[in-house]
Structure 1
Amino acid sequence: MDNKIPDSIAFSEEKGYNSNILPYATTVGAPVIKTDDVVAWKNRGIHNVNKEFENKFNELKLQYQKLMEEYQWNDMVYNAQFSFEPVIGEIYHLYTGNDGINFLSLISPQEWNKEHIATFKLNSDKKWLILNQKDSLFS
């Protein structure tokens, strides 16, 4: 008899019995080896991560828009005419004069018949915080 090994046994001349390292079942009684469906898992992960990035992007975009609007209001107030040094914490009103030039005043819109643009408060960082506005000028 030749020393023939049956087909159901994983054996090679170079590696010997190597069924424990093969990626497939080598005997009828061996458990079925199934590859995991990682494509579906990856697709779900990609979808979730992309959604997270989109939410973060929209949040940053909104913050940027608010920052730009804040900058534009501050630029408008600092470029307006006023002949006094504003006090931190006081409320000031921005108006458009008859000549079309903006000016800052302590007089409230109820006490004066001028075109009111917005009301501001100066904070400790010398930034003008808008309290109310007539219309959204920068949208």
Structure 2
Amino acid sequence: MRDRLTWEYGYDKMPKALARRYAYCEVLGPKGPVPADDLILGFVLFAPKTTYPQHSHKGISESYISIAGSWSENDAAVFAPGSLILNDDGHEHRITTGDRDPCLLAYAWTGAPEALSGPMTFSRPGTLRR
């Protein structure tokens, strides 16, 4: 399976401050090596001192499990490896990583196939939608 995984860096249009500060790897889903229409499983890797802008996902419920590094969602708390976060459809959130170490998260998205297959786009400066 490892030979079939690819790491993606960014989107077509994104803030310059975010470029090359994170990468994601879809394992299962519409674009992953294991096909699925209503579920996406993957990993996202953030560099230290990275802020992923405030965003939401229309028609998608999202969960993260911390694998390594520390991070915060909406500055509410600092999450360590083993933490689980759930974001309901449309929930606005922002991710900020710690100052010293990279942060690796496993993610799962559930939703209708048309919501999961759409591209990630910033609908206005600082706001991301899928």
Q: Calculate the TM-score normalised by the size of structure 1.
A: 0.24
Structure number with higher helix proportion:
1
State the structure with more CA Rg. Answer: 1
Q: Of Structure 1 and Structure 2, which has the larger fraction of its residues in strand? A: 2
TM-score computed with the length of structure 2 as normaliser: 0.25
Greater RCO (CA < 8 Å, at least 6 residues apart) = 2
